[in-house]
Amino acid sequence: MSKDTRQLSHSQNFLRNFKLVTRLIADSDINSNDVVFEIGPGKGIITSQLAKKAARVIAIEYDKNLADKLKQSFVDYGNVEIIFGDFLKVKLPEQKNYKIFSNIPFNLTADILNKLTLDVNPPQESYLIVQENAARKYAGGPYGEERLRSLILKPRFELIITHQFKNIDFYPVPSVNIVMLKIKKRKQCLLNSNEMNIYMDFVAYAFSHQGRNFKERMRRIFTNEQFRRQASEQKFDLSARPGDLNFEQWLGLFKYFVKGVSGDKKALIHESYSRLIRKQSKLEKIHRTHNIKKERIRR
């Protein structure tokens, strides 16, 4: 077993209860017309139940030994395809509709969600078994405060925590809480493509600038009078932090920004999102390098 495979297997907790899996799939919107991708099928407990409900199941397994065993187990299933490979490198359908139902490796949560939500043709629905703290970060309100991630996703997707698991539902038993996160693609994005790009910069600007509260962070964008008026109209406190506003309030404030702010002030937010992503990527690289050095020292 390779180092990457060991790291992957150690980050995944497998469901043990067929009845629970059957109920979760029954409670989903997966039907007999659907093509469903499964990420990391493991021993196939979810795969076998998906095969009873969906038109076609495409299960992608990173572990060669598990993939070989799955191919043997499902050799007589006409609607199941087992692929040995890395889901992050798999090309998803460019035009046809499809769905996702997976118990994903927790250490790949961010990478998998980025792939699913940034793809040119995102899945209609994704049902992902993930750590609760990660689900809350991506879902934002009403499960917690809105974050950059949740606000960027919500014009295109609805995010709902649909099930709270018991730790004993898995083996090995996890030390963290696990939930099912449903990500449903909206029939129509709440913003057009040009508005979406500006909105991403608008949100990133607010989260990347310093200030004790939202008003201070946006002081170069809104005048005091504009901000007071919007706080009243959108019903948020003048001392609110960015995370205190719900998505609807953010959307209302953004729509005012588009029509009520001068061009020179609009220019201030230009490329804020791409700059923030580059900064975060550098920090993540530094963090990974630091962890590798610590691991070498321990050895």
Across 4-8, 193-197, 206-210, least confident range: 4-8
Average pLDDT, the chain: 92
* DSSP result, 34-82: -EEEEE--TTSHHHHHHHHHSSEEEEEES-HHHHHHHHHHTTT-TTEEE
Which pLDDT score, from 0 to 100, does residue 103 have?
97
pLDDT at 42 over 70: yes
pLDDT at 207 over 70: yes
Which pLDDT score, from 0 to 100, does residue 296 have?
47
Report the topology of domain 3-185: Rossmann fold (3.40.50)
Confidence of residue 287 (pLDDT cuts 50, 70, 90): low
| Phi and psi, residue 35, nearest 5° | -95, 125
CA nearest 182: which of 1, 11, 25? 25
**What is the helix (H) or strand (E) element at residue 101, kind and residue range?**
strand 99-103
For the chain, the distance separating the N- and C-terminal CA atoms, rounded to the nearest angstrom, is: 19
Say if residues 162 and 182 touch (Cβ distance below 8 Å): yes
Residues of the chain with CATH 3.40.50.150: 3-185
Look up tokens 């998998």; give the residue. 112
pTM of the predicted model as reported, rounded to 2 decimal places: 0.89
C-alpha–C-alpha distance, residues 200 and 260, integer Å: 18
